[in-house]
Amino acid sequence: MSADLWSRALAVIPGGVNSPVRSFRGVGSTPFFVARGEGAYLWDTEGRRYVDYVLSWGPLILGHAPRVVVEALAAQLARGTSYGTPTEGEVELAERIVRLMPSIEMVRLVNSGTEATISALRVARAATGRAGMLKFTGCYHGHGDAFLVSAGSGVATLGLPDSPGVSKGAAGDTGVAPFNDLDAVEAVFKRQGDQIAAVFVEPVIGNSGLIEPMPGFLQGLRDITHRHGALLVFDEVMTGFRVALGGAQARFGITPDLTTLGKVIGGGLPVGAYGGRRDLMERVAPAGPVYQAGTLSGNPLATAAGNAQLEWLEKNDPYMRLEQVAKKVADGIASAARDAGIPAVGAAVGSMFGVFFREGAPRSYEEAKTSDTKAFGRFHRAMLERGVFLAPSAFEAGFVSTAHGDAEVSFTLAAAAEAASVAARG
Ligand SMILES: *Cc1c(COP(=O)(O)O)cnc(C)c1O
């Protein structure tokens, strides 16, 4: 059935998938088709069960089909799906984001993380009157033209350094520096600091595997941008409500000017958001002249799911326990790999984790790239055969949910011990 679906998909969808990293090309195989998800598990169309560490690439922090989200969706569904006029749900979601994200005073809801970053860049350019932007290698900020430069996993595993179809004009204003390298950032600002509208950063990289900021790095970005009149934008589409209730900005105590969100705030439905300082956000239409709009923005189903999920997170603050589970999984997989003779290192920040098949935790994408991706591909396939679904790329973070407990961790680590020895044999 799965093979049949795959050939049908290949015939009518480019590469068979609606987002490149789903293709499993990064691990040299082909995807399975999902029939349903519940809690920590996915079932494919053949009835095989997987412990899911992808969780729709981040959004499902309460696992699949959690009761609070399903009930909120059902209640909204009966009242209609979209109105194109304001609803209470979008006000509630905006209030919740403003309450929980330390630096956000006003927020605009959009439909994806990509929309959020494109819009935040537009605001930054309008506010500073500058066109330039600095990003970091291995950070992914969605597929907007200006961001498709050294953009991490989805682009990296396919070996596309840039994308055709992005004009020199669109990408030409984008500068790139290695993550955790303040000297490189200083050097760029020294040369052209008066042209840079904003520095965009994933405060914890989740799109080249998991790479943590070194002590002082994020503060250094705050200081340099202040000094040069540029804005600091935290892209917390992945880290928001994942590494702490208040995102990476709460965890590391840094106040960016603008923040982009997505994933968790939509509870598995398509959502994004950008927000920050009131004086900046008041530039957005119709309050101000910076145009940005969306037919389905603030969609009632999406805000119902997002509100239900965030309400649960706020009440239960599960982040300490999530980090313990994430750590057990990451350290356990890395140690299974090392026992089999494959150099490996694991790390967790909140509910995000990463395992690199290399010696020592990488500080940048440049270092992460030296991982043994062949061994990871063999390991990934062997884990899948044993019922564990890890992200199909050596350069993606993993995620745990509140539905992942001791039983899932034990099952995963038993599978990892076997899969590591398979991977080590080559
Ligand atoms: C996923 C992601 C995006 C893009 O969000 P989409 O909803 O896929 O458009 C942007 N930035 C970061 C950090 C992400 O992880």
DSSP 8-state code for residue 214: P
Site of tokens 């499993």 = 24
Confidence of residue 225 (pLDDT cuts 50, 70, 90): very high
213 pLDDT higher than 60: yes
Ligand 1 site-directed mutation target among 141, 211, 365, most atoms within 8 Å of CB: 141
Catalytic residue among 41, 50, 53, 140: 140
> What is the pLDDT at residue 425?
93
153 pLDDT higher than 60: no
271 pLDDT higher than 60: yes
> What is the pLDDT at residue 105?
98
> Does 266 contact ligand 1 (Cβ within 6 A)?
no
Q: What is the Cβ-side half-sphere exposure of residue 43, based on CA atoms within 13 angstroms?
A: 9
- Residues near 331 by beta carbon (within 8 Å), at least 6 away in sequence: 346, 348
Ligand 1 centroid from CA 47, angstroms: 30
C-beta separation of 63 from 424 below 8 A: no
> Does 114 contact ligand 1 (Cβ within 6 A)?
yes
Top-confidence residue, 390 or 2: 390
Catalytic: 315?
no
Site of tokens 């969706």 = 73
> What is the pLDDT at residue 157?
44
Phi-psi region of 217 (alpha: psi -120 to 50; beta: other; left: phi over 0): alpha
> What is the pLDDT at residue 151?
67
- Lowest mean per-residue pLDDT among 13-22, 93-102, 152-161: 152-161
> Does 259 contact ligand 1 (Cβ within 6 A)?
no
Among 268, 245, 280, 234, which residue's Cα sits nearest to residue 116? 234
Distances (CA, A) of 200 to 178, 179, 210, 362, 367: 12, 11, 17, 20, 20
The model's pLDDT over 127-142, given as tens digits with 9 standing for 90+, comes to 999 999 999 999 999 9
> What is the pLDDT at residue 152?
59
24-53+319-424: which CATH number, 3.40.47.10, 3.90.1150.10, 3.20.20.70, 2.40.50.140?
Answer: 3.90.1150.10
Instruction: Say what percent of the chain tops pLDDT 70.
Output: 97
Site of tokens 């008066």 = 194
Integer Rg of the chain from CA: 21
Query: What are the φ/ψ torsions at residue 391 (nearest 5 degrees)?
Result: -55, 135
**What CATH class has 67-315?**
alpha beta
Ligand 1 centroid from CA 424, angstroms: 33
CA-nearest residue for atom 8, ligand 1, is 113
Ligand 1 site-directed mutation target among 114, 118, 201, 351, most atoms within 8 Å of CB: 114
Catalytic: 140?
yes
Rounded to 5°, the CA angle 292-293-294 comes to 145
Looking at residues 330-342, what average pLDDT do you find?
Answer: 98
Helix (H, G, I), strand (E, B) or coil at 168: helix
Q: Residue 374 and residue 303: Cα distance in Å, rounded? A: 41
Catalytic residue among 44, 52, 235, 372: 235
Ligand 1 centroid from CA 116, angstroms: 9
Catalytic: 235?
yes
Catalytic residue among 50, 263, 274, 331: 263
Ligand 1 centroid from CA 113, angstroms: 4
Looking at residues 307-321, what average pLDDT do you find?
Answer: 98
Q: Residue 10 and residue 6: Cα distance in Å, rounded? A: 6
> Does 113 contact ligand 1 (Cβ within 6 A)?
yes
The model's pLDDT over 240-265, given as tens digits with 9 standing for 90+, comes to 999 999 999 999 999 999 999 999 99
Atom of ligand 1 nearest to the CA of 115: 9
- What are the residue ranges spanned by the domains of the chain? 24-53+319-424, 67-315
The model's pLDDT over 103-119, given as tens digits with 9 standing for 90+, comes to 999 999 999 999 999 99
Among 336, 349, 345, 338, which residue's Cα sits nearest to residue 383? 336
Per-residue burial over 379-391, b if 16 or more Cβ lie within 10 Å, else e, is bbbbbbebebbbb
Atom of ligand 1 nearest to the CA of 263: 7
Q: Residue 195 and residue 395: Cα distance in Å, rounded? A: 32
Give one DSSP letter per residue of 282-334, joined into a string: TTBTTTSSB----TTTT-HHHHHHHHHHHHHHHHH--HHHHHHHHHHHHHHHH
